[in-house]
Amino acid sequence: MATEGSPLRSARIARSATAFAALVILLAASPNASAQSTADKAVAESLFREARDLMAAHKYSEACRKFEASHKLDPAAGTALNLGDCFEQDGRTASAWGAFREAEDLARRTGDPAREVEARRRHGALESKLVRLRIDVPGQSRVQGLVVRRDGIVVDPAMFGSEVPVDPGKHVVEAVAPGRKRWHLEVGVNPGGESGEVLVPVLRPVVESTGLDPSAFPVAPGPAREPSSTGLGAQRWIAIGAGVAGLLSFGTATVYWMKARSTWSDAVDRCPAYTCRDPNDVALESEARDQSGIATVTALTGLGLVGVGTLLWATAPARATQRETAPAVSLSSWGTGLSVRGTY
């Protein structure tokens, strides 16, 4: 009997020792937890009072931050009601609606029917004022590892395609995925306006270099075709423009030469001895000289333009060409695998 009782007594002693140790730890931790809770409540109360003062001064954005901090330290239906009121005064209808709903839930759990009724009334009154935003992500856009955020907060895939309440103003929607380029869009929703909608496109892939030698995957290139010109280049276009302007100048000079010759011929007929007495004859002779001068200047200008155009054309860099290839396939490596790339 003594032999059988010894293990039983040992087990009972061990259980008692364990229970005693747990009790000691609990008693040691309780004062700290209580002190921490009391300190949090004191800070929360101080923040709450500061927020009320800011509300009275119509500094709603600052007041809302104080109310949020107070509510985080010491969640209470009264604080949530004040936070909702602050959000509503600041024009943040969706945030106010959410705060009033939380206040209703807290009041119900703590047995505060007055605040529960008030919170229900406040969020019900905001229902018709809410604006919403829908983020659509088609099937082809849902690539591996896709993460969509709205204003920095991850959007649950279950919310894709659903209209959710948002505060009026601008919102940034972004999408990221491994091996894909980041996409983002800023969208604005106005109070009382229509619901906003954002369509997330297929994210473009990012080609990452791994430093591997492409020659490790040799593939015979397709037969080359004749090079095709990619353009004359800016300098040669300027050269062509100068040449055309020069030719037009020559044409203008020719017209003035012909007019000068005709006018001079009339002047010679009126002044056989090249001595004009009549004022009209003198004016005719002067007009012929002016036309001749214009023709000379225009011809020299045209000659200069043609010369500049010729020089620009001669000194222009060789035209870039690109070699077109027949359809071919090449292999490259990126990330942790291989990719197949084709040219068509």
pLDDT in tens, 110-143: 999 999 999 999 999 998 889 999 999 999 999 9
Residue 128 confidence (pLDDT): 87
**What's the whole-number average pLDDT of the chain?**
77
Does pLDDT of 324 surpass 70? Answer: no
The pTM (predicted TM-score) of the whole model is: 0.49
Least confident of 73-77, 101-105, 321-325: 321-325
The CA distance from 143 to 203, in Å, is: 8
The CA distance from 54 to 60, in Å, is: 7
> What letter does residue 179 receive in the DSSP assignment?
T
Residue 40 confidence (pLDDT): 84
The CA distance from 275 to 282, in Å, is: 9
Topology of domain 24-129 in CATH is: 1.25.40
Q: Furthest-apart CA pair in the chain: how many Å?
A: 167
Does pLDDT of 6 surpass 90? Answer: no
Quick check: helix, strand or coil at residue 277? coil
Residue 155 confidence (pLDDT): 93
Does pLDDT of 243 surpass 60? Answer: yes
Under the banding of pLDDT at 50, 70 and 90, the label for residue 194 is confident
Tokens of 308: 């500049």
Mean pLDDT along residues 203-232: 58
Tokens of 299: 């011809």
Tokens of 128: 């018709």
Mean pLDDT along residues 83-105: 93
Quick check: helix, strand or coil at residue 292? helix
Task: Specify the DSSP element, H or E, that contains 132.
Answer: strand 131-136
Under the banding of pLDDT at 50, 70 and 90, the label for residue 272 is low
Residue 210 confidence (pLDDT): 52
* Contact (CB, 8 A) for 328 and 221: yes
The CA distance from 89 to 55, in Å, is: 9
Residue 156 backbone dihedrals phi, psi, to 5 degrees? -65, 130
Q: What CATH class does 131-199 carry? A: mainly beta
The CA distance from 288 to 283, in Å, is: 9
The CA distance from 149 to 156, in Å, is: 9
